[in-house]
Amino acid sequence: MTTTLSTRDETLPTTYSQALEALSLGPLWTALHQLLPNERQTQAVPHRWRWHDLRPLLLEAARLVPIEQAERRVLVLENPGLKGRYAITATLFAGLQIILPREAAPSHHHTPAALRLVVEGRGAYTTVDGVKCAMEPGDLIITPPMRWHDHGHEGSEPVVWLDGLDIPLVRALEASWASRMRPARPPATETDSSQDEFTAAGLVPRRSRYADTGYPQVRWPWAAPRGALAAMAAAAPAGQPVALRYVNPKTGAPPLATMGCECQWLRPGEVTPASRSTASAVYHVIEGRGESRIGDAVLAWEPGDTFVAPPWHVVAHTNPAPSAPACLFQFNDEPVLRSLGLWQEESLP
Ligand code: 1HN
């Protein structure tokens, strides 16, 4: 996307090439096969960030950088193949954010969509358009485009979460914009709709007590998907992956137009079927230890680790534990590829 292609045809007379350049013209024939490669190409590479390495650096950031200065105290997970682009894949951003007790990260809104998956600590919250969303380990909170949001902390220990945004995609569309920050206001509600309106699958409220924003649910407390995964795992035939998609409970659509979210339960000894797709995904380990094959890389993981699967890389997960399950969360750009007619998936033997 940012790679400069060579369009100069060295076999042409110099005067002709200069005449083209002077008129902002270039031959297509020298670049055609770079624009349309016969093999799928990605600059992003498979990579894993260890919680063990990141945690002390996050705590140090909290000592070194006041929240007033940082506004968002985030360490960016930068794909080694996409240096300088603030991107974990060509379309997705990921970072780990830390907030300390009594800190307040001011309010803003922006065109990119965001999601948060809580990694560690209790007592923090995100306010999304006035709705107070508690942040406990494993909880998912979404911040749809142009919704005001801020973060606060009423607990007693540092809280860390994984931020996922579609910033690289929105920047490619030259549609990235944010409001100026303003001080956070007290939340308008003490709870979010996951606590009283979306507590059971297959049931939606006749009438909501929350404002109708098009995003009826903005928080998924981890207990619900974990319980659902455990029930599925107990009944699913061996060999059938146990995975759930997070959806907008009123439409069944992905929670955000640009990003899909899933959680997966790996039974003891399970090896998932290998597959690849045109989407890219960022995985986060909620529970358990195992390893994943991502293309030619084999990445071992444990709780708190984050790893990335670029497009069209074969993905297979293994939980080698004799008795403990493992739980992976992932977010991806699948909704974008699907809506553009670019989604393709392949199972491998
Ligand atoms: C942002 O607004 C947040 O609101 C987190 O917590 C991470 C990364 C890039 C740009 C904006 C937040 C972000 C971000």
| Span from the CA of 72 to the centroid of ligand 1 (angstroms) | 6
Task: Give the residues across from 97 on adjacent strands.
Answer: 74, 161
What pLDDT shows up at residue 3?
59
Query: Given this model, what pLDDT does residue 349 score?
Result: 78
Question: Model's pTM, two decimal places?
Answer: 0.97
Residues 6 or more apart whose CB falls under 8 angstroms from that of 21 comprise none
Residue 69's φ and ψ, nearest 5 degrees, are -80, -45
Give yes or no for a contact between 315 and 274, defined as CB atoms under 8 angstroms apart: yes
pLDDT for 7 equals 76
Phi–psi pair at 51, nearest 5 degrees: -55, -40
Q: What is the pLDDT of residue 8?
A: 83
Q: Is the dihedral of CA 174, 179, 184, 186 positive or negative?
A: negative
Select from 176, 174, 116 the least CA-distant residue to 150: 116
Query: Is 167 close to ligand 1, i.e. is its CB under 6 Å away?
Result: yes
Give the model confidence (pLDDT) of 142-197 as tens digits: 999 999 999 999 999 999 999 999 999 999 999 999 999 999 999 999 999 999 99
Name the nearest CA neighbour of 260 among 170, 338, 334, 339: 334
Say how far apart CA 161 and CA 304 lie, in whole Å.
Answer: 10
Q: Is the CB of 98 under 6 A from ligand 1?
A: no
pLDDT at 327 over 50: yes
Is the C-beta atom of 165 inside 6 A of ligand 1? yes
Say yes or no: CB of residue 74 within 6 Å of ligand 1.
yes
Please give the average per-residue pLDDT across 106-110, as a whole number. Answer: 98
Enumerate residues 6+ apart whose C-beta is below 8 A from 123: 101, 135, 153, 154, 155, 156, 157, 159
Please work out whether the CB of residue 141 comes within 6 Å of at least one atom of ligand 1: no
pLDDT value of position 135? 98
For 32-82, the pLDDT digits (tens) are 999 999 999 999 999 999 999 999 999 999 999 999 999 999 999 999 999
Handedness of CA 120, 126, 128, 130 (dihedral sign): positive
Ligand 1 pocket residue status of 326, Cβ below 6 Å: no
Q: Ligand 1 pocket test: which of 72, 119, 142, 181 has the largest number of ligand atoms within 8 Å of its C-beta?
A: 72
- For the chain, the average pLDDT equals 96
- Alpha helices (H) in 3-150, listed in sequence order: 14-22, 32-35, 51-64, 67-70
Measured over the CA atoms of residue 197, residue 264, residue 83 and residue 63, the dihedral's sign is positive
Helix (H, G, I), strand (E, B) or coil at 121: coil
